[in-house]
Amino acid sequence: MRVVITGGAGFLGSHLTDRFLADGHRVVGVDNFITGSADNVAHLAGRADYEFIEQDVSIPFDVDGDVDGVLHFASPASPIDYLELPIETLKVGSYGTHNSLELARAKGARFFLASTSEVYGDPEVHPQPETYWGHVNSVGPRSVYDEAKRYAEAVTMAYRRTCGVDTRIVRIFNTYGPRMRPNDGRVVSNFIVQALRGEPMTVYGNGLQTRSFCYVSDLIEGIYRLFHSDRDEPTNIGNPVEFTMLELAEAVIKVIGGNASVEYRPLPIDDPRQRQPDITIARATLGWEPLVPLAEGLVRTTDYFRGVVGGR
Ligand code: NAD
Ligand code: UDP
């Protein structure tokens, strides 16, 4: 197969690229580097099975030749990124999704949307099954991301229903691992980089809000299986083991050691209080299960960040 991956120079897009290439497929990465980096795909330079196009996908774009799959991963994803890039985030979720769907339609390719647990907002149902419609503040600062992704799901389903495009939608829950930026702003990279530098870990609010963290290799395996499956309804992929942010800080201290401390900062507006994926459907339809526990994923991620920022 030859697949196009938008956001291919990002954290997840670059790992997904590696996964397709490892299985003998060809990949065309498309990215404008707004939050990604050429470093993430530098190891692929010169390969005959890999092409890269520097392109803003919010502007209509084309790819020469046959394409079997279009995987739309382009979007700022860290809260600090989408709060700084609100219009770009809304555009890539709307125009970018539309343009990627048009490419899939023109090529007769399968379309795969990277959606998010943020479509559930600050959830009132816990854990969150795919049937939950969500609880999103449509005018709050986070809405630029949440509503862009909700729109992206809607336009994907509309193309499936009315244009016959073969579509898949994954709802990704908090994922971490190598190739996150040291200044990415998400909690796992923040805590690890802060602890490596001997700085206090910044806990927002009282630290009792929860997230469920998935190691990147588990997520990519789930996405890869979903892409190749017949499951055309939105599907949660994430690790259901739930932690408070204070528990996460303790887990990071265990890995890095030293006398790391925490420093409390204000809770961002509309920060979801709890989050845990219900992965009953992924287990049953994809035979997929996360395999890497947090303690092990933190060790691997810390090794990566030690190479990037140094530290203890
Ligand atoms: P990332 O910021 O590392 O990667 C996003 C990539 O998209 C970057 O390389 C960026 O330059 C590119 N991009 C953004 N706008 C673009 C545009 N208009 N044109 C071309 N390229 C553009 O983030 P990530 O964590 O790898 O997230 C990838 C996707 O997965 C996003 O769609 C995100 O919403 C989704 N997602 C990620 C997580 C997670 O925990 N990492 C959770 C839920 C959903
Ligand atoms: N968070 C934190 N300290 C940080 C960064 C984030 O306590 O340095 C909190 C944040 O308020 C949220 C959780 O960690 O409750 C996860 O934040 P992240 O930005 O990683 O992802 P998201 O909010 O999108 O789930």
Tens digits of per-residue pLDDT, 21-31?
999 999 999 99
Q: Is the pLDDT of residue 312 over 90?
A: no
Q: Is the pLDDT of residue 258 over 90?
A: no
Closest residue CA from atom 21 of ligand 1: 31
What is the per-residue pLDDT for 311? 78
What is the per-residue pLDDT for 63? 98
What is the per-residue pLDDT for 143? 98
Q: Which long-range contacts (CB under 8 A, 24 or more apart) does 253-258 make?
A: 253/195, 254/295, 255/192, 255/295, 255/298, 255/299, 255/302, 256/192, 256/195, 256/196, 256/302, 256/311, 256/312, 257/312, 258/195, 258/198, 258/312
Domains of the chain: 2-175+213-237 (3.40.50.720), 180-211+241-276+292-309 (3.90.25.10)
Summarize pLDDT for 12-51 with one digit per residue, the tens.
999 999 999 999 999 999 999 999 999 999 999 999 999 9
What is the per-residue pLDDT for 200? 96
Element spanning 269, H or E:
none
Summarize pLDDT for 262-291 with one digit per residue, the tens.
999 999 999 999 999 999 999 999 999 999
| Cα 243 to ligand 2 centre (Å) | 12
Closest residue CA from atom 12 of ligand 2: 271
| Cα 5 to ligand 1 centre (Å) | 11
b/e 205-239 (16+ beta carbons within 10 angstroms → b) = eebebbbbbbbbbbbbbbbbbbbeeebeebbbbbb
Q: What are the catalytic residues?
A: 145
Instruction: Indicate if ligand 1 lies below 6 Å from the C-beta of 77.
Output: yes
Structural contact between residues 39 and 6, judged by C-beta atoms closer than 8 angstroms: no
Q: What is the mean pLDDT of the chain?
A: 97
Cβ atoms within 10 Å of 113's Cβ, excluding its own: 25
| Cα 46 to ligand 1 centre (Å) | 24
Instruction: Indicate if ligand 2 lies below 6 Å from the C-beta of 263.
Output: no
Structural contact between residues 129 and 279, judged by C-beta atoms closer than 8 angstroms: no
What is the per-residue pLDDT for 115? 98
Closest ligand 2 atom number to CA of residue 190: 8
Summarize pLDDT for 125-162 with one digit per residue, the tens.
999 999 999 999 999 999 999 999 999 999 999 999 99
CA distances for 23 relative to 49, 220, 271, angstroms: 11, 13, 38
pLDDT bucket at 214, cuts 50 / 70 / 90: very high
